[in-house]
Amino acid sequence: MSKAATIIAALSMAVALFLLLEVITFQQQIESVASELSKVRGQLDALSKRLETIDQSVRTLESSELQAPQVHVGAPSNITLIYEKVKDSVVKISVISLVGEVVGSGFIYDSQGHVITNNHVVEGGERFYVYFLDGSAYEASLVGRDPDSDLAVLRLVLGGKSPALKPLKLGNSSELRIGEQIIVIGNPFELAGTVTTGIVSQKGRLLPSGRGYLIPSVIQIDAAINPGNSGGPVLNLKGEVVGVATAIESVTGQFAGIGYAVSSNVVKRIVPALIENGRYRYSYLGITGSEINELVANALGVDVKKGLLVESVASSGPAARAGIKGGTRTLKVAGKSYLVGGDIIVGIDGTPVNSMDDLLTYLVERTSPGDLIVLTIIRDGSRIDVPVTLGERP
């Protein structure tokens, strides 16, 4: 091969090698770009999914805003709306007696002009006057009263008038939850139409009545109650009456953070009887007792944590006739004395009894004098059922 041919062949190989290297480099660049494009595509997919999530969240928020009440600056609150709804049904009551005037509160119960208030507001009264917030005023007559629940019923003397009365609806007080918001409307210190609000602090309190018996199922609230609030409605956020303001716990005579209301379920039971008969006939068992806890139960050797220890039994009363036994000796547990040796009530007609309130609430809300009930008791370590025919409270 000539020298020229050799040079040409070498140049050809060099050019071919150069072109091969360029092709390899270009291919690597293409692969790099493809890799970058793949990454971008992945980021775009992730961004698309994120946008879908945001879009779904926006749609959900828009939907909830359509369903939920809109809150705007200056818009009326639930309390304002409820007050506007019920204000024409809450009244001020003036009771005139030989010793002067007592002012309380009440509310319209039905279209016949019956008004619910407290017994201690009307007790001893000779003339009764009812004032509405719009200035309307009526004389009223006393229909019935019950010292043992501190409830009373007046009736407006309409004298031919036909006012558009707006009765308030009674709610189910047993559905109240601890911490639930409530509203009280009344006339504290004769300040008509006053609204206070708070929560349900507790349920199932016992409150002594004017005759010494216990009012069961009392609701404890922290809404401000002062003289003049007595007899006014306690309302839930549906605008239903769940209680009747009746008392406060105070060393000064003014509100100190604890108020009490007679439950609407007790009102439902007693008020119709007051309207029909002027009085309510209570079932009577004829016992006194104390609530026990696990410490007392352990000291007595019984396998319960709660129950009602029967301490005394009224002679010739329904419980005595049924053979219920009272205490015979004193036992001191955790610094408190108990009269033990008697029966422990743990149920009534299959309903658990953990306290005196449980027993009294059942008797008031679900029984009448003459009814046959079955008490489940613990006696000598054994559970037995004892039938008892209820009497009428003396």
Residues noted as catalytic: 120, 150, 230
State how far the Cα of 365 lies from the Cα of 352, in Å rounded to an integer. 15
Distance CA 287, CA 388 (A): 12
Sequence-separated (6 or more) residues with CB below 8 Å from residue 295: 333, 334
Which one, of 107, 125, 119, lies nearest residue 213 by Cα?
A: 119
Q: Which two tokens stand for residue 324?
A: 């219920």
In angstroms, rounded to a whole number, what is the distance separating the alpha carbons of residues 218 and 203? 6
379: tokens are: 């006696």
Radius of gyration of the chain (CA): 38
